[in-house]
Amino acid sequence: MGRLIEMVLPLLEPIMSEKAVRDQARGLYHFWAQPGITKQQAAQWLEKLFGVRVIGVRSLQRKGKVKMNWNKRRLFRRPARKKFLIQLASGTTIKELTIAKK
């Protein structure tokens, strides 16, 4: 599994928050990506890597926050990121990213 995650990380980074894990039961997976990635690229990458059928992709742009470095007394901006919400075909899961329930 480690090697598989390393292959997907350059393009998509899975989000494992409470909301993301809850949405996995409905076949909706959350990923962070660089701003230049398109919906089509994200869908093709997941289909090719995990062998699943993607039926929908939604995306959100997240601007980088302005933060203060108190040691140097300077402002800096965190990098911009893009969030993808990827809907898989019904009954399909990505086993490598699914958290087992107790």
> Which of these CATH numbers, 3.40.30.10, 1.10.10.10, 3.30.70.330, 3.30.2030.30, describes 2-88?
3.30.70.330
- Can you give the length of the chain in residues? 102
Q: With contact defined as beta carbons under 8 Å apart, do 57 and 87 qualify?
A: yes
Strands of the sheet containing 54-62, edge to edge, are 12-14, 28-33, 81-88, 54-62
Q: What is the pTM of this model?
A: 0.78
Q: With contact defined as beta carbons under 8 Å apart, do 92 and 53 qualify?
A: yes
Q: Where are the domains of the chain?
A: 2-88
Q: Which helix (H) or strand (E) holds 43?
A: helix 39-50
How does pLDDT run across 33-81, given as a tens digit for each residue?
988 889 999 999 989 988 999 999 999 999 999 999 989 889 999 999 9
For the cut 90, the answer to whether the pLDDT of residue 96 exceeds it is no
How does pLDDT run across 2-44, given as a tens digit for each residue?
555 555 555 788 999 999 999 998 999 999 998 888 999 999 9
Sequence-distant (6+) residues with CB within 8 A of 18 are none
